[in-house]
Amino acid sequence: MTTEGTLRKSLSLYQVVYMGLAWMTPMIYFSIYGIAYENAHGMLTQAYLLAFIAIFFTAYSYGVMSKVFPTSGSAYTYTKKSIHPYLGFLVGWVLLLDYFFSPIIACLTFGIYLHAQFPSIPAYVWIIGLNIVLGLINIIGIKFSANISKLFVWIQIIFIAVFCFFLFRNLSGAGEIHPLQPFLQTDVPFSTILAGASIICFSFLGFDTVTTMAEETVNSEKTIPRAIMIIIITASVLYLVPSFLTQLVYPHLTFVHIDSAGFEIVKMVGGAALSSVFLTVLVLAIFTQGLSSVTSVSRLLFVLGRDNVLPKRVFAFLHPKFNTPVINIVIVSVVSLLALVISLDNAVKFVNFGALSAFFFVNVSVIAQKYMKERHRSPKQTILYLVLPLLGAGFIGYLLSLLDKDAIWMGITWLLVGVVYHLVQKRTAQTKDAALAMRAARSTPLN
């Protein structure tokens, strides 16, 4: 178990984009439709626009840092190298919450939906089966994963395009409509729309995972920042267009069940024909999100192993044939079996705490690296490397404050586990170094 090597550069710009969109899952638009609509009081167009603006600042910061440090550690590497190694460890440890629990959520929702469709087959059969398939595909290689992601991402995009076509067709029967009506509705307070935007921001989570693939991306210094912006802009179009058209055609909506509001709006817009396709596309979307999630967390574990934060012999191992971190992939698949016992609510809380914490420190890292260390302080550079990251950090800090107490306590508990692990690891290393020094002293002949 000593084979250690370098990840092979094979991913193109658009393969990275497809992997990021697969993790983000465009169909999440329908998954959170009810809760987003309720929190924004129907003002989804404005809420999505605000969410895009807010996330754009953090995406910009990821782009800056991926140019400075074109390695696969994501927020862990950026914080470690720009601020302090110990803080980098803590950020990497918290980031594991986001990355580890994402495939768990994928497996859990996969089991829930398919068990609902086929009640005779228990959910655990789907969960275990998906785990095995995701693991095998990731072991074969990241390029194979990217090609599968490309296919399933396009299926999602086509479904959303068809949904928009039905909405556009329904405009003719909606009477006289002002084309800017969604933006002219001002009866809902801005604070309410902002609350909706804070929920919708989670629809954009996933763009950051492409930074974990930097060492497998051709010309990553240019490719990763470009990929991040393409992912964010593509997702914004996929969310804003259907929300705008829906608000034009149906300015006021009520749902039987908030959790199934996405299915209800699809059926309302496209009838039984479109709603019958909805579940199939949603299941494919969940599959691709799980595939990309396993890829991301296995690469983060590889970097933590290579840096000796985690045991190097295990986590920095690459398969000699496939050139993939096979042991990490197996570990992720085993951990993902928590989907058999954990609730979806708790899993989502872990993801939110981990992702937002990492986002916050990536924004701070830009300031520490570019503005403080490299002293880029011209008027233009002050805007780029101080003002914009501060705006990103401020909004992400606000979102962190909106998390419920359970999420915060779960996150703090996980962080304390990391502190204890780091202390034990440090003590073990010191003991080992002392033993080696003593052995060397004994073996040195006296003059």
pLDDT at 391: 94
Residue 368 is predicted with a pLDDT of 95
With 0-12 CB in 10 A as exposed, 13-18 as middle and 19+ as buried, what is 155?
middle
Which whole number is the average pLDDT over 235-255? 88
| Integer Cα distance of 236 and 239 in angstroms | 5
386-403 pLDDT tens trace? 999 999 999 888 878 877
The verdict on residue 200 lying in a domain is yes
CB 72 within 8 A of CB 303: yes
At residue 207, the pLDDT reads: 83
Residue-level pLDDT at 329: 93
Q: Determine, yes or no, domain membership for 73.
A: yes
Give the residue, 83 or 109, on which the prediction is more confident: 83
pLDDT of residue 128: 93
pLDDT exceeds 90 at position 292? no
Do 15 and 144 meet the contact criterion of CB atoms below 8 Å apart? no
Structural domain includes residue 340: yes
* Rg over CA atoms, the chain: 23
pLDDT for residue 409: 87
Q: How confident is the model at residue 333 (pLDDT cuts 50, 70, 90)?
A: very high
pLDDT recorded at residue 2: 45
Quick one: pLDDT at residue 175? 60
Q: Give pLDDT, residue 236.
A: 93
241 in a domain, yes or no?
A: yes
Separation CA 268–CA 163 (nearest Å): 11
pLDDT of 245 > 70? The answer is: yes
* Spatial separation of the C-alpha atoms in residues 95 and 361, rounded to whole Å: 11
- How many domains would you assign to the chain? 1
Residues 6+ away with beta carbon under 8 Å from 166: 269, 270, 274
Classify residue 411: in a domain, yes or no: no
pLDDT of the residue at 73: 63
Is position 445 within any domain? no
Tens of pLDDT, residue by residue over 37-83, are 888 888 888 889 888 888 899 999 999 998 888 876 678 889 999 99
- Assign residue 278 the CATH number of its domain: 1.20.1740.10
pLDDT, residue 72, reads: 67
Residue 27 scores a pLDDT above 60:
yes
151-204 confidence digits (pLDDT tens): 889 999 999 999 999 998 887 765 666 666 666 666 778 777 877 787 787 778
The token pair that represents 37 in the structure block? 């609509």
- Percent over 90 (pLDDT), the chain: 26
Identify whether 430 is part of a domain: no
Higher pLDDT, 442 or 163: 163
Distance CA 226, CA 9 (A): 17
Three state DSSP letters for the chain: CCCECCCCCCECHHHHHHHHHHHHCCCHHHHCHHHHHHHCCCCHHHHHHHHHHHHHHHHHHHHHHHHHCCCCCCHHHHHHHHCCHHHHHHHHHHHHHHHHHHHHHHHHHHHHHHHHHCCCCCHHHHHHHHHHHHHHHHHHCHHHHHHHHHHHHHHHHHHHHHHHHHHHHHHHHCCCCCCCHHHHCCCCCHHHHHHHHHHHHHHHCCHHHHHHHHHHECCHHHHHHHHHHHHHHHHHHHHHHHHHHHHHHCCCCCCCCHHHHHHHHHHHHHHHHHHHHHHHHHHHHHHHHHHHHHHHHHHHHHHHHHCCCCCHHHHCECCCCCCCCHHHHHHHHHHHHHHHCCCHHHHHHHHHHHHHHHHHHHHHHHHHHHHHHCCCCCHHHHHHHHHHHHHHHHHHHHHHHHCCHHHHHHHHHHHHHHHHHHHHHHHHHHHHHHHHHHHHHHHCCCC
Looking at per-residue pLDDT, the higher value among 72 and 366 belongs to 366
Residue 177 pLDDT: 65
Q: Which residue has the tokens 């508990």?
A: 413
Taking the whole predicted model, whether its pTM rises above 0.85 is answered as no
Structure tokens at 144: 């194979």
Angle between helices 123-140 and 326-335 (to 10 degrees): 170
Share of the chain above pLDDT 70, in %: 92
Type of residue found at 363: N
Mean pLDDT over the full length of the chain: 84
Token pair for residue 351?
């993801």
Task: Judge whether residue 345 has pLDDT over 80.
Answer: no
1 confidence band (pLDDT: 50, 70, 90): very low
Range of the domain at 54: 13-403
Assigned domain for 327 exists: yes
The answer to whether the CB of 203 falls within 8 A of the CB of 32 is yes
